[in-house]
Chains A and B, each alone.
Chain A
Amino acid sequence: MAEVRLSGLSKSFGSTVALEKVDLEVPDGSFVVLLGPTGAGKTTILRMVSGLDTPDEGTVTIGGQLMTGLTPAQRNVAMVFQQYSLYPHMNVRENLEFPLKSPLLRTPQSEIDRKVNEVAEILQISHKLDNKSTALSGGEMQRVSIGRALVRNPSVYLMDEPLSSLDAKLRADLRVELKSIQANSGATLIYVTHDQVEAMTMATHVGVLDNGKLVQFGTPRQIYEDPVSLYAASRLGQPRINVLPADLFANVPPKATSIGLRPEHILQGEGEESTVTRVEHLGDQTRLHLIFKNHDLITVTDAHTELQQGDTIKIKPDNPLYFDASGARLV
């Protein structure tokens, strides 16, 4: 395992800028989630680290060693792709053995069998080992794909939305499983997703990307509670942070143009009046859709609330986040 450092990484595809001067330090043994919408440059970063693509500018260092000019094999990284890329002409076992049999590792057969069985056990695919890889369900394919990374002991694991094609239950199970595998083995893992639940639950660090730029890097809690910008703030939190014009409220900092309200920033029962437009009972919590001075708001309230559509409720901001005209956070 090793730490990964990106410095001044830039990449363009034709006239499209995919990455712009990204500096990022991934500590040894950390679980870094790169978060951002499609086209933010998440996958491009993974491809730069893996060596599948070369940066226009900047360098990648893994474990203190400069990676410039090294092939993917020489970098000793494992990667899980977004689309399950199982070798269709091999069965499940051969797929899992493939990286161990590479000229890079040349693992003895007894060791291969041990590792393959161990990983198959963890991913619950032991009974499928002799299946054709094309005869698996999507979820099984993706688990084999993850397994092909896990059988190795690389300097860093790279995962590109590995869970996005799975159903909700399997996704929840594998989330826990991946996190515990990483925590137990002390592996360094860079994980790309746009699912904020994955980011919040698994990451030791979250990197927020916006149009090829790294806008914030920190613990999930830091990003959630102390975002540097409106953009970073809206990456995490469910329901999403509410953004209202700052002049709706009194006592606002002078330069603030918008105010960001997460559910916990909205005190219910005092302040100014708002109208309930919709009540969503989710079981453990209830979401309230409100109209406050002609602006929509979504907040969370008691699971057993008596409120109904058309009711009026008083609300008041409590220690909210303020942003200036450019979207930067005002502290």
Chain B
Amino acid sequence: MSFSVTQPSTRQKWFAGVLVTGYALLTILPLLWIIATGFKSPSDAIAYPPKVVFEPTVEGYVNLFTTRTRMSPDALAELGPPQTWYDKIVRQYDMVISGPSRYGERFLNSVIIGFGSTFLSIFLGTLAAYGFSRFRVPLKDDLMFFILSTRMMPPIAVAIPIFLMFRQLGLSDTHLGMILLYTAVNLSLSVWLLKGFIDEIPVEYEEAALIDGYTRFQAFYKVVLPQAATGIASTAIFCLIFSWNEYAFAVLLTSGTAQTAPPFIPTIIGVGKDWPAVAAGATLFLVPVMVFTVLLRKHLLRGITFGAVRK
């Protein structure tokens, strides 16, 4: 195939370079600032003009994972020398560690709810997409439209009915409740995306498997699923990113047992204006989605270009 492409001029290249670099800086700067703030001391964090060069410390991370009590110098002296490196950091401020913070629990809640709802969205979405793609379903187009229509308003618009429903059903502040809620929100996206991917897999493969002596379900998981892996991976990333970052429902529906990290992180500020601890919490919170995305990166790249796949 031949395209008539004119070589860009030096000036055009230069302009494009500036534009791309500018955009990259614009998106990455807040992220870098958060990561840097996590390693600043509280006074450096609120210094004006902002400090770009500073002495790094892990105070923020220590504060993130602990709760501390202020003590009088006399009482501190009675305690003897600090036992551990993190004790030592805290002592500078005339404080002692009184226990672990709730960050670990909240983070674990995020993992359970985020990955749980992603798994459920993908599991149900794949089955539904396969059904819609391969079988004659009565009112198929209407059903597909209905599924899509659940995303035609922002999910938070139905917050009040959901709040009341959850209270009635005893789902408020439970892992199950949050998993179900995020699955309900993600499912329409996952059904539509996955149906697109499964539509692209020729039906001949399954027919061959049926003739080779396999049942419909075996053909589905031995032949269709491996080929849909790309689509499943990219859909999973979209679902995870939504449920991982979701804030509004989490604030509204969780407060204790099932509270996820997003509503918890701002509460760290407390009275001490402890910005480094907040930044540390946000930094760690980025890690799982980044790891998940990097692991599935190969599939994601194939996934977002799936319309252009050579047949």
Contacts and interface: CB of A to CB of B under 8 A. Distances in A.
A76 B212 CA distance: 8
B212 A98 contact: yes
Nearest to A47: B207
Contacts, number: 58
B215 A85 contact: no
B46 interface: no
A73 B213 contact: yes
B179 to A, nearest CB: 31
B21 interface: no
Interface string B192-234: 0000000000101101111111111010000100110000000
A85 B219 CA distance: 14
Judged by DSSP, the binding face of A is loop
A69 to B, nearest CB: 15
A83 to B, nearest CB: 6
Nearest to B216: A71
B211 A52 contact: yes
Interface residues of A, number: 23
A104 B213 contact: yes
A325 B82 CA distance: 112
A89 B227 contact: yes
A89 to B, nearest CB: 4
Contacts of B204: 81, 83, 85
Contacts of B207: 52, 72, 81, 85
Contacts of A103: 213-215, 218
B202 to A, nearest CB: 7
A88 interface: yes
Nearest to B227: A89
Nearest to A83: B204
Contacts of A87: 205, 208-209, 223
A119 B184 CA distance: 51
Nearest to B225: A89
A166 B213 CA distance: 27
A71 B212 contact: no
Interface string A64-86: 00000001110011110101010
A49 to B, nearest CB: 11
Contacts of A78: 211-212
Interface in A71-130: 71-73, 76-79, 81, 83, 85, 87-89, 98-99, 102-105
Interface of A: 50-52, 71-73, 76-79, 81, 83, 85, 87-89, 98-99, 102-105, 148
The 8 closest A-B pairs by CB, nearest first: A102-B213, A104-B213, A99-B212, A85-B204, A89-B226, A72-B210, A85-B208, A73-B213
7 contacts: A71-B210, A81-B208, A85-B208, A87-B208, A88-B205, A88-B227, A99-B213
Interface of B: 202, 204-205, 207-216, 218, 223, 226-227
